Chain A
Amino acid sequence: MTTLRNFSRFITDTLRMITTGGPVYYAWVAFLLLLIAFGTNAYIGQVQNGLIVTNMRDQVSWGFYIGNFTFLVGVAAAAIMLVIPAYIYDWEPIKEITILGEMLAISALVMCLGFVMVDIGRPDRFWHIMPLVGRLNWPQSMLAWDVLVLNAYLVLNYFVVTYLLYCAYTERHYVKKLVTPLVLLSIPMAVSIHTCTAYLYNGLASRPFWNSAILAPRFLASAFCSGPAILLILLQILRKTTKLSIKDEAIFKIAELMAYTMGFNLFLTAAESFKELYSGTEHMVYFEYLLFGLKGHNTLVPYAWASIICGAIAFILFLVPKTRTNWVTLNIGCVLIYASVYIEKGMGLIIPGLTPDALGEIYVYTPSITEISVAAGIFALGFLVFTLMLKAAVPMMLGEFTISRGRKGAQAAKPEGHG
């Protein structure tokens, strides 16, 4: 009964925590809510009129929504870039902040689910994909696998985060025997979510651009080198704005690991490009469209080269210790690699896979205003989830906000006691 009461207090206090803050906090949350409203409005138009309000058509049947989905699965998987050094190598500086990576994963997964919801033609039939209730075509369909592993990863991270915070809140040590195996489990699970997503594309013989053996390794490499970039920037912000102590070496270590994955990512990209361009079969048309333009259509070319160049510069900045440990160049590198992988996963993956289409037709797809608006709303939702989690979690991690101490600096609530 005590646990029940404590947990309910945990929730009520958390709710109170996230609904009070300074002017910056309110302004930020208001801005995000505004974006969400804006996106919802656009989405309502899409539900009423159908997906015709997007620019997707039969020839390019997946676009901005699925591109964002793919990128965000990578971001979610990247949480383990913190877990591996923390738990496998038992490195204390990172161990304390692993929970931040997991919270990022949760936010990213919320956005992933959001993008899938807005992309399907019949959102009212979403229940069809649930096992037992609906009919999940498992194991044939890779999408069925993806549904299962993404939700499992979400539940796992959610549980670990809630448990760790609850323990911090109730001033108890978390049970290592419970948490460590789960956190270690999250490593293969993170690999599995991005592998399943990669296999979604990989398994389609109809799209030679995707039907390449190194697609899954490429996905993982690009995920691990871009996802932590957000974390690095976030950690620096948190260090400045809260009392959370994050050692420099933790940040630099993550950056170093990212450098290796960036290098690997560049190598895999080069390998893929070599195979297509050197053997020069007809399957080259997709690469041609992406990198050089095809039959006068070269919308993607500047983005493709920007992605490659940004990725290469970021790699150098992260590899060279001098630039890796310089805050200016480090942050520039973070932005560059994030942009590079974002372009690569969206424009550089989905569009060339579908252009030219199965019968050789080229339809130049660019997202419509509705798609951009809805995507902005979903990103805002993810940011909001992350913000709210941080708002409650950071004080708990610092020990400022517990069941006995209440909210630091807040109005005195009812006297709280243990038991």
Chain B
Amino acid sequence: MTQPLRLSILPGLAACLLALAGSAVSAEEHKKPHAATVQVPKDQVQVPKPPFSEGIFPCSQCHDPKSMAPNTKRRELKDMHTDISLHHGPDTRWCLDCHDAYNRDNLHLANGKLVSFNTSYQLCGQCHGDKLRDWRVGIHGKRTGSWNGAKQYLLCVHCHNPHSPHFKSLKPMPPPARPEAIQIKNGGAK
């Protein structure tokens, strides 16, 4: 009734090795939400490129400190970027709290340290430390890949619009059929 133990170990081991070896390959075969990933240093997490709007990056195209002096006064923007509605935290929050005034191609932490858009999770984690901690181990947010191999992360901003981060409601998919509605088709089974 039961298989001999040794017969089950061999294919099991083989499967295990194959799974490990092929996990990198199979990871590629999965549908990834975005194209190429960004290469980051070893202590950081490998993530896809940030979901920039068309043509918006690099910011320094327009925000050249030489030609356009930064205006660090807290205000509501009236000339440009009016499509962005900021609903992130208290009313006193504004753009340059996160975007670096003098290096527009970067973000910055509270202590002034620059953060690349490619690793924007470091900025989010400054205030949302518990989320960052959970995200690193794959508990917070969507993480795909292989359960026993390489994982694919997403940036925070792939799900949470940084300007209006509340997760958007979705239209639910249809409810199940009620049991009364499950009937044989008219005219026979097929």
- Taking Cβ atoms with an 8 Å cutoff, the residues of A that contact B are 48-50, 52-53, 57-60, 363
**B83 at the binding interface (Cβ < 8 Å):** no
Task: Give A60's nearest chain B residue, CB to CB.
Answer: B179
Closest Cβ of chain B to A61, distance in Å, is: 10
Give chain B interface residues in 98-147, CB to chain A under 8 Å. Answer: none
Number of B interface residues in the complex (CB < 8 A): 8
**B182 at the binding interface (Cβ < 8 Å):** yes
Using Cβ atoms and an 8 Å threshold, which residues of chain B touch A60?
Answer: 179
Q: Please, how many angstroms separate the alpha-carbon atoms of A49 and B188 in the complex?
A: 7
Q: Are A52 and B179 interface neighbours, CB within 8 A?
A: no
Using Cβ atoms and an 8 Å threshold, which residues of chain A touch B184?
Answer: 49-50, 52-53
Using Cβ atoms and an 8 Å threshold, which residues of chain A touch B5?
Answer: none
Q: Is the interface of B mostly helix, strand, loop or mixed?
A: loop
Using Cβ atoms and an 8 Å threshold, which residues of chain B touch A58?
Answer: 179
Q: Are A57 and B182 interface neighbours, CB within 8 A?
A: yes
Task: Give A363's nearest chain B residue, CB to CB.
Answer: B179
Q: Are A49 and B189 interface neighbours, CB within 8 A?
A: yes
Q: Please, how many angstroms separate the alpha-carbon atoms of A243 and B184 in the complex?
A: 53
**B72 at the binding interface (Cβ < 8 Å):** no
**B2 at the binding interface (Cβ < 8 Å):** no
Q: Please, how many angstroms separate the alpha-carbon atoms of A48 and B183 in the complex?
A: 14
List 16 A–B pairs whose Cβ atoms lie within 8 Å, in order of A's numbering: A48-B189, A49-B184, A49-B188, A49-B189, A50-B189, A52-B182, A52-B183, A52-B184, A57-B179, A57-B180, A57-B182, A58-B179, A60-B179, A363-B178, A363-B179, A363-B180
Q: Please, how many angstroms separate the alpha-carbon atoms of A53 and B186 in the complex?
A: 12
Chain A CB within 10 Å, residue with most, of B179, B183, B189? B179
Closest Cβ of chain A to B163, distance in Å, is: 40
Give chain B interface residues in 132-190, CB to chain A under 8 Å. Answer: 178-180, 182-184, 188-189
Q: Please, how many angstroms separate the alpha-carbon atoms of A116 and B183 in the complex?
A: 23
Q: Please, how many angstroms separate the alpha-carbon atoms of A53 and B184 in the complex?
A: 7
Using Cβ atoms and an 8 Å threshold, which residues of chain A touch B180?
Answer: 57, 363
Using Cβ atoms and an 8 Å threshold, which residues of chain A touch B179?
Answer: 57-60, 363
Task: Give B179's nearest chain A residue, CB to CB.
Answer: A57
Using Cβ atoms and an 8 Å threshold, which residues of chain B touch A52?
Answer: 182-184
